[in-house]
Amino acid sequence: MARSEAQKRADKKYAETHEINYTTIGMRVEKKKAEIIKEQAVKQGVSPSKFLLLAATYCIENNIDLKNE
């Protein structure tokens, strides 16, 4: 079902009021690696997106250099 104009206006007002500032980062991954990431995320009890965000944040906060990986 298509979103009504009222819903679109409400979403816009909410975003402006709460200063939501998000973006999407996409990537292409080999199917085998994607499955491994999904399996690890399930083991950790989080979504694959959350798992990758936590992993990236960990590397950034701990100054982990991945150039030679």
pLDDT tens per residue across all 69 residues of the chain: 788 999 999 988 888 887 767 778 999 999 999 999 999 999 999 999 999 999 999 999 999 999 976
- In-domain check, residue 67: yes
- In-domain check, residue 13: no
Helices (H) and strands (E) in the chain, counts: 3, 0
Total number of domains constituting the chain:
1
Question: Which residues form the domain of 39?
Answer: 29-69
- In-domain check, residue 48: yes
- In-domain check, residue 17: no
- In-domain check, residue 21: no
- In-domain check, residue 19: no
- In-domain check, residue 5: no
Question: CA 13, 17, 19, 20 torsion: positive or negative?
Answer: negative
Confirm if 30 and 20 have CB atoms less than 8 A apart: no
Please give the distance of CA 63 from its chain centroid, rounded to a whole number. Answer: 20
- Eight-state DSSP code of residue 62: T
pTM above 0.85, yes or no: no
